[in-house]
Amino acid sequence: MAQHERLTVETGIQVYFCDPQSPWQRGSNENTNGLLRQYFPKGTDLSSHGPYKLEAVAFTLKSRPRKTLGWKTPAEALDEILR
């Protein structure tokens, strides 16, 4: 986010930075970290996993329905918005 000011000027999207040591401000991020830990324990060197393994885990997580999206997957929710 080194160019967050440019992003705001060019798109009108406001950028929010959480306070340090405040995980409750990053709920989605913390939840995703927990899901990733099911596949990669903390401290895992991701470079030891090939791109296919990383892509498979990413696909699995992105295909998961989310309560916050009305039990739709992120792809389904985005598709609904874009229509």
Q: How far apart are CA 55 and CA 61, in angstroms?
A: 10
Are residues 3 and 26 located together in one domain of the fold?
yes
**Residue 57 confidence (pLDDT):** 96
pLDDT digits (tens, 9 = 90+) for 17-72: 999 999 888 888 888 899 999 999 999 999 999 999 999 999 999 899 998 899 99
Instruction: Identify whether 10 is part of a domain.
Output: yes
Task: For residue 72, report the phi and psi dihedrals to the nearest 5 degrees.
Answer: -95, 160
Count of domains forming the chain: 2
Are residues 32 and 54 located together in one domain of the fold?
no
Residue 1 reports pLDDT greater than 80: no
Are residues 55 and 83 located together in one domain of the fold?
yes
**Residue 7 confidence (pLDDT):** 92
Instruction: Identify whether 43 is part of a domain.
Output: no
- pTM of this structure: 0.66
Instruction: Identify whether 62 is part of a domain.
Output: yes
Instruction: Identify whether 57 is part of a domain.
Output: yes
Q: Show the domain range for 59.
A: 50-83
CA distances from 38 to 8, 12, 55, 61 (A): 35, 37, 15, 11
Instruction: Identify whether 44 is part of a domain.
Output: no
